[in-house]
């Protein structure tokens, strides 16, 4: 199971979304928050994201722990990877997607996350944390194509879809003609995948745009989700 959130992680408007997601994991939920995408922003911002995640899930009445996975060394720390492996709900908060992917790719922590998924747990990512889970993602500054983890194959995930200017989306639209599905996720909204079933959870919508057309979906199951081969 994966959940891709557009924006708003750990804030009150996302509480209804996360309550639903917590109900999808095996009981009892055990949450770990990873602020890795903010790893270049300095100790103060890392601490901010760690604290925000812990406060958010504590309000929801769930055991939670933020782990200092912020660079390649910490992503390869056996002790931290072991703590991740003991959970069933992993949350990747926002920041820089290219840095987040480079930090996690091939690491012990990433292997632990995959182990959580294999055991029926859930991986949630917001903003940068959502972008890296598709087939490919773009850099906000360079708008170049980067390889993702392919947990949503055939798709490129664009968070903040209702907030970012058109000029930032325009270069990515060309990827549609080359076989990718553009998945635009709005604020306070998540696209939840459980096997082949896709569901929109939250107050906003998810836009699915590929060679078959462009459709915006709101709360509920997304019908006829067909991954596009690339």
pLDDT tens readout for residues 119-159: 999 999 999 999 999 999 987 555 678 899 999 999 999 99
For 2-221, give the CATH class. Answer: alpha beta
Per-residue pLDDT at 228: 47
Per-residue pLDDT at 142: 54
Per-residue pLDDT at 89: 98
Per-residue pLDDT at 177: 73
- Where are the chain's structural domains? 2-221
Using 70 as the pLDDT threshold, list the residues of the chain that sit under it.
140-143, 224-230
Per-residue pLDDT at 113: 98
Please list, in sequence order, all residues whose beta carbon lies within 8 angstroms of the beta carbon of residue 33, skipping any fewer than 6 positions away: 10, 49, 50, 53, 54, 57, 64, 65, 66, 67, 91, 93
**Please, what is the Cα angle at 101 between 176 and 211, to 5 degrees?**
10
Per-residue pLDDT at 229: 43
């Amino acid at each position: 199971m994966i959940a891709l959130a557009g924006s708003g992680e750990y804030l009150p408007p996302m509480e209804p979304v996360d309550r639903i997601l917590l109900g999808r994991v095996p009981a009892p939920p055990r949450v770990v928050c990873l602020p890795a995408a903010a790893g270049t922003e300095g100790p103060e911002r890392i601490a901010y994201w760690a604290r925000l995640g812990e406060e958010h899930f504590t309000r929801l009445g769930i055991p939670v722990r933020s782990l200092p996975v912020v660079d390649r060394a910490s992503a390869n720390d056996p002790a931290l990877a072991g703590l991740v492996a003991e959970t069933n709900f992993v949350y990747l908060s926002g920041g820089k997607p290219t840095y987040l992917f480079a930090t996690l790719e091939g690491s012990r922590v990433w292997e632990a996350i995959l182990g959580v998924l294999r055991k029926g747990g859930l991986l949630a990512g917001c903003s940068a944390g959502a972008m890296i889970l598709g087939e490919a993602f773009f850099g906000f500054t360079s708008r170049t194509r980067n390889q993702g983890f392919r947990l949503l194959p055939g798709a490129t995930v664009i968070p903040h879809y209702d907030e970012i200017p058109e000029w930032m989306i325009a270069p990515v639209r060309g990827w549609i003609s080359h076989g990718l599905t553009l998945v635009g996720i709005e604020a306070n909204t998540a696209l939840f995948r459980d096997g082949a079933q896709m569901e929109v959870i939250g107050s906003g919508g998810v836009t699915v745009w590929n060679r078959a057309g462009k459709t915006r979906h709101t709360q509920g199951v997304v019908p006829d989700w067909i991954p596009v081969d690339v």
